[in-house]
Amino acid sequence: MNDNKLVIHTPDKIDREVEDFKLDSFEGGKNYSATKIKLTRDVETEKPVLWYSQELIRNHRDPTDPFGKRQILKPFTASNLEAVSDETLTQKFTDTVLAFKEDIPDYAPLTDVHSSSMKVFVDENTAQFVEDIGISLDGLDADFSEMESVQVTPFYMEVAGDASKLKEKLSYLNLQLNRIKESIADEFDDYLDPKTVTDDEFTSKMALENISQSLVQRYLEAKEQKETLESRLGVVNREVYNETTKKIRLPEKLKENMYNDIF
């Protein structure tokens, strides 16, 4: 497997290139992002459709990581075929925003995949078509390759500590809230397991029952505290995001809208 960020091969070999990249990443204990651009044809009209697909894997971070696996699949038709190039760069930007791996133990609201572990795969037929409609693969390769992960600074380490403390408080508060909900459920005429319903459904059930006011008050106070902590954690996320995005090199054509649209 070569180190080029843009990999072009024959249609019968490109899938093997993707699988080899995934296997190399897995065996090397690396999180990775694999993007593929493929040309297909509408079965009825024969019009071209460019498919953008991406698989993001962060198995080497945390078993409970909500971004442990993410898959994206988007079609681009005759009216916006060229946009597949911007989509490729936009998604890499998303994955590049916080690429700290183990350097920051508890802070990566987007991803922690380093730029070196992100690749684009295109078969030769698709590559020729893409060039024919005016997308320079050399330009795409240059923009994709030069968009680098941001290095760790003391600022991020400090904010990581803030995020860790907030998450610990949030985790403890969730335990308290669950205990309160269990106590409330015990007072229902017909017991309802709080774990099987949403918060809104549970609150609606409470409104129909005769619950002791002390429990209701404790429940409302805990919910308010939870919302406050979640809001504070969101502020921390935005602070790091805003600082991080300033350090990432972007192609000129993406700079205008990227910062507003990505987060």
Beta strands in 104-157 (DSSP E): 118-123
Specify the residue for token string 């910062």.
Answer: 259
Cβ atoms of residues 106 and 160 within 8 Å: yes
Cβ atoms of residues 160 and 104 within 8 Å: yes
Give me the pLDDT at residue 105, please. Answer: 57
Q: What is the DSSP string of 48-74?
A: EEEEEEEEEE-TTT-TT-TTSEEEEEE
3-state secondary structure of 40: strand
- Average pLDDT by consecutive 10-residue portion of the chain (263 residues)? 83 94 87 93 91 86 68 92 91 76 56 82 95 92 84 71 84 92 90 88 89 91 92 81 73 58 45
| Distance between CA atoms of residues 156 and 78, nearest Å | 43
Whole-structure pTM value: 0.68
Give me the pLDDT at residue 263, please. Answer: 41
Give me the pLDDT at residue 226, please. Answer: 92
Give me the pLDDT at residue 83, please. Answer: 92
3-state secondary structure of 97: coil
| Distance between CA atoms of residues 93 and 115, nearest Å | 10
Give me the pLDDT at residue 262, please. Answer: 44
> What letter does residue 39 receive in the DSSP assignment?
E
Bridge partners, residue 261, by sequence:
none
3-state secondary structure of 192: coil
Cβ atoms of residues 187 and 215 within 8 Å: yes
